[in-house]
Amino acid sequence: MKKILSIVLLSSLIFGSCSQSPERETEKIRFMFKPGTLKFITSSFNTDKQTMSALYGNPPALSLLSDPGHPLEQPASLKLVTYRMQDDPHYFGSKVNGELILVEKIQSRKDGQWEYETEYGEIPPDQSRKQRIALILDSQPVKFPQ
Amino acid sequence: MKQIKRIKLINILFLCIVAGFTSLQFFNKPIEQKPVTGHMRNVPKQVEHILERSCYNCHSNEQQLSFFDKVAPISWTVNKDIARAREVMNFSEWDKLSDAEQKGKFYAIFNMVNAGKMPLPSYSLTHPGSKLSASEVDIIKQYALSLSAKDGFIPTVAAEQQKETRATPTFKTAPISPNGIAYNGEFRNWKVIGMSSLIDNTIRIIYGNDIAVKAIEQENFHPWPNGSAVAKAVFKQVRKSNGDIIPGDFVNMQYMVKDGREFKDTEGWGFAKFNGPALKPTGKTALFAQQSCISCHRQLAESTGFLFNVPPKVNSKKLIEHYLKTVQNEKDIIYSAVK
What confidence category does residue A37 fall into, taking pLDDT thresholds of 50, 70 and 90?
A: very high
Distance from CA of A145 to the nearest CA of B (A): 4
* Single-letter residue type at B148: S
Let me know whether B291 and B162 are in one domain.
yes
CB contact under 8 A, B312 and A96: yes
CB contact under 8 A, A92 and B197: no
CB contact under 8 A, B205 and A48: no
CB contact under 8 A, B308 and A135: no
Residues of chain B with pLDDT under 50: 337-339
Which one has a higher pLDDT value, A8 or A110? A110
Q: What is the pLDDT of residue B339?
A: 44
CB atoms inside a 10 Å sphere around CB B62 = 13
Question: Closest partner residue to B168 among A93, A140, A143, by Cβ?
Answer: A143
How far apart are alpha carbons B135 and B139 in whole angstroms?
6
Let me know whether B14 and B52 are in one domain.
no
Let me know whether B103 and B206 are in one domain.
no
What confidence category does residue A103 fall into, taking pLDDT thresholds of 50, 70 and 90?
A: very high
Let me know whether B205 and B100 are in one domain.
no
Instruction: From B101, B127, B150, give the residue that closes a domain.
Output: B150
- Please choose, from the candidates B117, B138, B120, B112, the residue with its C-alpha nearest in 3D space to the C-alpha of residue B46: B138
- For chain A, the structural domain boundaries read 24-137
Taking contacts as CB-CB distances below 8 angstroms, the residues of chain B near A119 are 323, 326-327
Q: What is the pLDDT of residue B150?
A: 65
Structural domain contains residue B40: no
CB contact under 8 A, B243 and A26: no
Let me know whether B183 and B260 are in one domain.
yes
What confidence category does residue A18 fall into, taking pLDDT thresholds of 50, 70 and 90?
A: very low
Give pLDDT tens digits for B247-274: 999 999 999 999 999 999 999 999 999 9
Sequence-ordered alpha helix ranges (H) in B249-316 = 288-292, 294-300
Q: What is the pLDDT of residue A7?
A: 58
Give pLDDT tens digits for A46-99: 999 999 999 999 999 999 999 988 888 899 999 999 999 999 988 988 999 999
Distance from CA of B300 to the nearest CA of A (A): 6
Taking contacts as CB-CB distances below 8 angstroms, the residues of chain A near B118 are none
> Searching chain B, which residue's CA lies closest to the CA of residue A121?
B323
Question: Closest partner residue to A28 among B194, B233, B315, by Cβ?
Answer: B315
Q: What is the pLDDT of residue A22?
A: 46
Q: pTM for the complete prediction?
A: 0.81
CB contact under 8 A, B311 and A30: yes
Q: In terms of DSSP bridges, do strands A51-57 and A77-87 run parallel, antiparallel, or are they unpaired? A: antiparallel
What confidence category does residue A141 fall into, taking pLDDT thresholds of 50, 70 and 90?
A: very high
Q: What is the pLDDT of residue B283?
A: 87
> How many CA atoms, within 13 angstroms, populate the side-chain half-sphere of residue B277?
9
> Searching chain A, which residue's CA lies closest to the CA of residue B200?
A93
Let me know whether B7 and B98 are in one domain.
no
Which one has a higher pLDDT value, A5 or B231? B231
Taking contacts as CB-CB distances below 8 angstroms, the residues of chain A near B301 are 90
Distance from CA of A15 to the nearest CA of B (A): 26
Q: What is the pLDDT of residue A25?
A: 56
**Average pLDDT value for chain A:** 87
Distance from CA of B297 to the nearest CA of A (A): 9
Query: Quick one: what percent of chain A has pLDDT higher than 70?
Result: 82
Let me know whether B185 and B282 are in one domain.
yes
Let me know whether B91 and B223 are in one domain.
no
Instruction: From B97, B126, B150, give the residue that closes a domain.
Output: B150
What confidence category does residue A23 fall into, taking pLDDT thresholds of 50, 70 and 90?
A: very low
DSSP H or E run through B5: helix B2-25
Let me know whether B298 and B178 are in one domain.
yes
Domain count, chain B: 3
Domain harbouring B228, CATH code: 3.50.70.20
What confidence category does residue A11 fall into, taking pLDDT thresholds of 50, 70 and 90?
A: low
Q: What is the pLDDT of residue A145?
A: 78
Q: What is the pLDDT of residue A19?
A: 46
Instruction: From B88, B116, B150, give the residue that closes a domain.
Output: B150
Let me know whether B213 and B233 are in one domain.
yes
Which residue range forms the structural domain that includes residue B295?
157-304
Let me know whether B89 and B133 are in one domain.
yes
* Interface test mutation site (partner B, options A27, A80, A88, A131, max chain B beta carbons within 10 A): A88
Structural domain contains residue B39: no
Let me know whether B197 and B242 are in one domain.
yes
Which one has a higher pLDDT value, B20 or A115? A115
Distance from CA of B286 to the nearest CA of A (A): 24
Name B285's Cβ contacts closer than 8 Å, sequence gap at least 6.
B178
CA torsion sign for B73, B78, B80, B83 is: negative
